[in-house]
Amino acid sequence: MRHPHTEVPGLRRDGTAIATIPVPIKNASGALLDTAIPKVAIVKDMSYWNGGFGDETEDEVDLLAMIDHMLVKAPLSGFVIEGLTPYGAITAPARSRLMQKAVYSGIPVARTGRGSPEGFIPTSDPTYIGGSNLTATKARILLMAAIMRFGMLPPAANPDHPTDAELGAIFAKVKAYQSVFDTH
């Protein structure tokens, strides 16, 4: 008997192109595969190594490397960014640009507030999944489950300059993720 939902769309970068690939998540018996568990990183809004506010994208070597690694080695992956409490704001311009590029590359990003958020994360930005009042750890677990349900976001052909049609497809899938986060 074939079990429904045995694979989801994942990502793989080959050269400069990002391709959508099928990623098996269950075996023929319907049991979850160990290899299906998404790799979701929790990142802080700021990196304080340079003493500034992270205005230069190339200074954000941790995120550049993580995005590259995910696109090459982790077909199911995502980010949870811990922004300012209570609204999960991303204040570092370079980190904001890189998180946006991750989304346009097909990697879902959930925003949370740092620490024990008592507020809520606005969901008016269609680029990011609003983590509501979840801690980053709880948002990470929920994002992992959502990735196994929905698969990755559709990548833009050029993540630095997505077309209106590509943005529409990305935002529609982020909205599906958001519907899960809104119930938790």
pLDDT tens-digit readout, 37-72: 999 999 987 655 555 554 555 567 888 899 999 999
Q: How many angstroms separate the CA atoms of 90 and 92, rounded?
A: 6
Give the chain's mean pLDDT: 86
Residue 71 lies in a domain: yes
**What is the structure's pLDDT at 104?**
98
The domain spanning residue 65 has which CATH number?
3.40.50.40
Average pLDDT over every residue of 82-101: 81
What domain range includes position 78? 7-181
What crossing angle do the helices spanning 93-104 and 164-181 adopt, rounded to 10°? 100
The secondary structure of residue 116, as a DSSP letter, is S
Distance linking the first and last C-alpha atoms of the chain: 32
Q: Which residue has the higher pLDDT, 183 or 90?
A: 183
**What is the structure's pLDDT at 54?**
47
Residue 2 lies in a domain: no
Label residue 15 by pLDDT band (50, 70, 90): confident
Residues ≥6 apart with Cβ < 8 Å to 88? 81, 82, 111, 112, 113, 117, 121, 122, 130, 131
If one counts the domains in the chain, the total is 1
**What is the structure's pLDDT at 119?**
59
In one-letter notation, the amino acid at residue 116 is: S
Q: How many angstroms separate the CA atoms of 132 and 148, rounded?
A: 20
Residues ≥6 apart with Cβ < 8 Å to 156? 104, 105, 106, 162, 163, 166, 167, 170
Q: How many angstroms separate the CA atoms of 13 and 29, rounded?
A: 30
Asked whether the predicted pLDDT for residue 161 surpasses 50, the reply is: yes
